[in-house]
Amino acid sequence: MSGRNTALTPPADAAEPVRHPDAPPPGELLGAHYEHCFGCGDGQPHGLHLAARAGEGVRVSAEFTVKPAHQGAPGLAHGGVLATALDETLGSLNWLLRVIAVTGRLETDFVRPVPVGTVLYLEAEVTAVAGRKIYSRAVGRIGGPQGPVALRAEALFIEVKVDHFTDNGRPEEIRAAMADPDQVRRARAFEVNP
């Protein structure tokens, strides 16, 4: 995938990613950034309920089970759902950098079909940082963490301020998230999303 798209190729002066000293330790479950997030939130009955864990360096691993509500063709995961799983996993990386960032570009390769009932194992890492741009990649496997590759992606995330959400989000959800008495949940609600 490298080099196919210049928008996803870090510039020559890009820096190596640096894990924030306050990032969750390797192995820690990151939890949902927002209860109503389709990717990771428990408040979405047909959502992915994707569970991501901090890895070493600036890496995360995640899993989700493809349910009947996630199918496109009979018995197979919808490609958009698989792209969402990649986007959610890649977005979780920003928690290790302790920045608020949104997806700027996501390029996905679908390598093999993913049947309903399959557990998708995802691994993602930040590869470079250049100013507000965060470059990353991910791979999804079936049959186990070392199983055959089903999909892969490269992504570009852009660091933003919380105003990105408060200025553009639907007011009732913004007010509800801002009123949450739990300071961590309040901050995490605005962690990722376009």
Q: Above pLDDT 70, what percent of the chain?
A: 78
Q: Is the pLDDT of residue 172 over 50?
A: yes
**Confidence category of residue 3, pLDDT binned at 50, 70, 90:** very low
Q: What is the pLDDT of residue 185?
A: 55
Let me know: does 125 contact 57? Beta carbons within 8 Å: yes
Angle (CA) 192 193 194, round 5° = 130
Q: Is the pLDDT of residue 152 over 50?
A: yes
Query: Which two tokens mark 47?
Result: 């959502």
Q: What is the pLDDT of residue 119?
A: 96
Which 8-state DSSP code applies to residue 7?
G
Q: What is the pLDDT of residue 79?
A: 95
Let me know: does 119 contact 67? Beta carbons within 8 Å: no
Q: First-to-last CA distance in the chain?
A: 23
Which 8-state DSSP code applies to residue 71?
B
Query: Which two tokens mark 58?
Result: 């600036």
Amino acid at 175: R
Query: Which two tokens mark 135?
Result: 């470059």
Q: What is the pLDDT of residue 47?
A: 80
Within 8 A by CB and 6+ apart from 99, the residues are 134, 159
pLDDT, the chain, mean: 85
Let me know: does 84 contact 92? Beta carbons within 8 Å: no
CA–CA dist 71, 73 (Å, integer): 6
CA–CA dist 51, 69 (Å, integer): 18
Q: What is the pLDDT of residue 40?
A: 73
pLDDT digits (tens, 9 = 90+) for 62-92: 999 999 999 999 999 999 999 999 999 999 9
